[in-house]
């Protein structure tokens, strides 16, 4: 145990500071402070020693230099077991500092609010980050609190242990401090490297939660990030690893649509998808696509869920329901299953990059944000597409874009009626889609088809024609494209090239 006798407090955020200062003062701790923090503490009635009185230097350069001084850092970094360190403290009249309470200028908040570079640069903390690192380095003698979110944990220990902390406890706060400083530096680096002039990868999350388990019960797992930025959780059990993976896929799918739409996800693939005049009808059409796979799935819509739709959903066992809002009576119905997770989706900006760990590193890429709108189609067949076929082909591309490759989507009237995904050949994906469609009673005559990648041979065109499919979308790019085009012309089908592949692995 080591008693805290002196503290340096300099914070941007004053929330929670009163309780902390009260406990320190009650233990007779000598408090040093500066600027706005000093005034705040004095206004609360605490005796405070100005840092300027310790250093004999005022705050200079518009506040850029306040605590960067040997009399401050010497008191923090001095090793209490080293005789020479103690002699130098005595020689230069440097008091020891046992506790450093410092947070950092709000850099991330500033870049979220403005593009003004001068304002952003001024929010790069220099003194604070230095104090945090110094105190954390000397955790054997000094404790550091680097965020007001740590006040409660500190006070729980401090008050229970009569104003003292153990070495292990100080080391834990040091680890939290280095987490604070590394996250801060990552945000600054990523700001300066916006144009990716440096070939380096940095990412940091300041919020984490432990999940029940990973992909399987024997795997431990955690989520790093703040889900509160994306959703309000209204009801249900804790989200699992697999829930989060499927929710991510669901959010990506529904983001493609503006008109009322509904998607049903299973193992990141869309097993039901439709657009209609309202989301209740869209749900009926989405569920019809594959009602078997919908069991235990993730449901998402881009419009408010009202009572009529809620009553339909309530009849289906599903893990998660996501919507931009729920009416009160709809929410009451859906809360009838205690474990069903209900998420109110917020408006947010999706990250522009994706990455995942593999081998001994990570791969990163741009998010596949490109979406064809029909105007960029290149007609390659003799037969043109009708207006309805063109609309369905755009819908089909939105559907196939989010299926595991190799992927095929069959569409009729903005409804997914058959899907093949995750197959090792495109022929197998098409056969799977046709089998599913027929198995759930859909007529394929007049339907359209989208493929996530080109056809290396004309076999898919021939199989599609035999099933009754009349229009096809594919990226093109095969050395045998002409074979597929010739097959379309022979069979009376329409074919458009998009020029964009949408692999998903």
In terms of Cβ atoms closer than 10 Å to its own Cβ (0-12, 13-18, 19+), residue 287 is buried
Q: Which of the following is catalytic: 5, 183, 235, 267? A: 267
Active site residue 5: no
d(CA 172, CA 160): 17
For residue 392, which of 369, 367, 417 has the smallest C-alpha distance? Answer: 417
User: Is residue 104 helix, strand or coil?
Assistant: coil
Q: Estimate to the nearest angstrom the gap between the alpha carbon of 474 and the chain centroid.
A: 31
Rounded distance between C-alpha atoms, residue 106 and residue 96, angstroms: 29
Q: Determine which one of 123, 137, 235, 312 is catalytic.
A: 137
Which of 362, 439, 367 minimizes the C-alpha distance to 401?
367
Size of the chain in residues? 505
The continuous run of DSSP H or E covering 17 comes out as helix 17-26
Angstrom CA distances, 228 to 179, 208, 253, 434, stand at: 21, 12, 20, 40
Spatial CB neighbours of 109, under 8 Å, sequence gap ≥ 6: none
Q: Helices marked H in 29-150 — which ranges?
A: 35-43, 51-55, 70-77, 83-91, 107-113, 117-122, 127-137
Question: Is-cis flag, bond preceding 96, omega within 30?
Answer: no
Q: Name the token pair of 385.
A: 């597409």
Report DSSP state, residue 311: H
How far is CA 276 from its chain centroid? 29
User: Across-strand partners of 450?
Assistant: 409, 473
CA neighbor of 132 nearest in space, from 94, 95, 101? 101
Distances (CA, A) of 302 to 111, 279, 283, 344: 29, 8, 11, 11
Known catalytic residue: 356? no
Active centre residues (catalytic):
137, 267
């Amino acid at each position: 145990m080591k008693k805290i006798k002196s503290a340096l407090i300099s914070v941007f955020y004053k929330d929670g500071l009163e309780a902390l200062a009260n406990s320190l003062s009650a233990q007779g701790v000598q408090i040093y402070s500066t600027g706005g923090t000093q005034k705040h503490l004095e206004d609360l009635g605490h005796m405070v020693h100005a840092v300027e009185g310790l250093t004999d230097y005022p705050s200079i350069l518009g506040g850029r230099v306040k605590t960067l001084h040997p009399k401050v850092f010497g008191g923090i970094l001095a090793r209490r077991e080293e005789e020479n360190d103690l002699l130098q403290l005595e020689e230069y009249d440097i008091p020891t500092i046992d506790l450093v309470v410092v947070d950092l200028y709000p850099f991330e908040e500033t870049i979220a609010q403005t593009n003004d570079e001068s304002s952003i640069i001024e929010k790069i903390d220099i003194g604070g980050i230095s104090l945090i690192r110094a105190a954390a380095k000397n955790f054997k003698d000094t404790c550091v609190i680097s965020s007001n979110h740590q006040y409660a944990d500190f006070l729980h220990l401090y008050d229970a242990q009569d104003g003292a902390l153990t070495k292990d406890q100080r080391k834990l706060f040091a680890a939290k401090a280095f987490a604070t400083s590394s996250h801060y530096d990552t945000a600054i680096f990523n700001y300066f490297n916006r144009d990716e002039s440096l070939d380096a990868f940095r990412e940091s999350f300041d919020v984490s939660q432990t999940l029940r388990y990973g992909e399987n019960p024997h795997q431990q797992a955690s989520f790093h990030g703040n889900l509160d930025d994306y959703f309000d959780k209204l009801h249900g059990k804790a989200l699992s690893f697999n829930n989060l993976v499927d929710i991510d896929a669901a959010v990506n799918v529904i983001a493609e649509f503006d008109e009322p739409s509904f998607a049903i996800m299973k193992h990141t693939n869309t097993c039901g998808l439709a657009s209609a005049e309202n989301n209740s009808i869209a749900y009926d059409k989405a569920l019809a696509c594959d009602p078997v796979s919908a069991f235990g799935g993730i449901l998402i819509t881009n419009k408010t869920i009202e009572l009529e739709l809620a009553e339909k959903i309530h009849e289906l066992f599903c893990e998660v329901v996501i919507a931009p809002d729920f009416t009160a009576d709809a929410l009451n119905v859906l809360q009838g299953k205690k474990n069903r997770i209900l998420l109110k989706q917020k408006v947010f900006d999706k990250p522009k990059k994706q990455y995942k760990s593999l081998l001994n590193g990570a791969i990163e890429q741009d998010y596949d944000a490109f979406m064809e709108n029909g105007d960029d189609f290149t007609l390659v067949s003799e037969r043109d597409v009708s207006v309805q076929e063109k609309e369905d082909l755009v819908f089909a591309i939105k559907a196939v874009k989010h299926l595991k490759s190799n992927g095929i989507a069959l569409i009729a009237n903005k409804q997914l009626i058959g899907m093949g995904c995750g197959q090792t050949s495109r022929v197998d994906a098409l056969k799977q889609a046709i089998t599913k469609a027929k198995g759930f009673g859909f007529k394929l005559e007049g339907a359209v088809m989208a493929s996530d990648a080109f056809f290396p041979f004309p076999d898919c065109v021939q199989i599609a024609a035999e099933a009754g499919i009349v229009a096809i979308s594919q990226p093109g790019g095969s050395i045998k494209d002409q074979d597929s085009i010739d097959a379309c012309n022979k069979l009376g089908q329409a074919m458009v090239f998009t020029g964009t592949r949408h692999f998903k692995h």
